[in-house]
Amino acid sequence: MVADIVPVQRVGASGKHAPRSHPPLRMQASNGVIAGNTIVNSSLGGIIITPELGWGEADFAHNLLVVNNTIDAVARAQQGYGGIAVAAVAPNGAPGQAPGHGNITVANNTITDTGYAPIWVTSAGGVTLAGNRIVRPFPAAPAAAGQPPTLPTCCEPVPNYVTVWADAVAGLRASDNCVQPAPANSSSMASIFNVTATVTGSFTGGVQLC
C-alpha cells in the first residue's frame, strides 16, 4: 500500500518546464494498492501507470487498486500526463494496443483543478472506473469556444478538454463517476466522457455531471 502526502512546487510563470521530471507517482509495477495519497501542485501529473514504450522500460501493470486518493492542481505545465492515467503511448505518439494493462480498478478518487486529462485509459483489458469525482477540470481553459488552449498539451494523445477518455480498452466498466465543472469553464469542455471505437465493455452513462 502507498499512502503519503506529496506536495510539489507549482510550475513557473512560463508554463514550459515542470519542477519535477516525473509525476509524483509513476507506477511501473503490478499486484498492489495505491490508496490514501494526497498529491498537490505537481505540474506534470498525479498517479501515472504506464510503461515507457519508447525507452523499452518496465512492463504493463496488472492487478492494481487505485482508490481513495486526492489529486489537486496537477498537469498544469506544457508537458502534462493528467490526473490519473492507466495508459501506454507508442513511440509514434499513438496509444499502445490492447490488451496491455489488466485488472485495474480506479475508484473513489477526487481530482480537482487538473489542467489536462483528469482520467484517461488506454492499452488495457479489464479496467473499472467507479465513484470518481472530478471537480473544476481545466481551470485555465478559455471561456469562449474555439479558442486555443491556454495551457498547451504535449506528448500524450488525449484530445483537449476531454475529462475522461478511453482508447484501445477491452472490457471497460464505468459507473457512478461524476464531473463538477466550474461555471466559467463548462462551455469550453469538449466532453465529459469520450471513448473511441476501439473500446468495449459496459460504460454508457458511467460519467455524468455531478
Give the type of residue at 187: S
Q: In the structure, what pLDDT confidence band is assigned to residue 41 with cuts at 50, 70 and 90?
A: confident
pLDDT by residue (tens digit) across 59-102? 789 999 999 999 998 887 766 788 999 998 877 777 777 789 99
Share of the chain above pLDDT 70, in %: 72
Per-residue buried b or exposed e for 90-128, using 16+ beta carbons within 10 Å of the residue's own CB? eeeeebbebbbbbbbbbbbbbbbbbbbbbbbbbbbbbbb
pLDDT by residue (tens digit) across 124-136? 999 999 999 999 8
pLDDT of 134: 96
| CA gap 36, 58 in Å, rounded | 24
Domain borders along the chain are 5-209
pTM of the model: 0.83
Q: What is the mean pLDDT of the chain?
A: 78
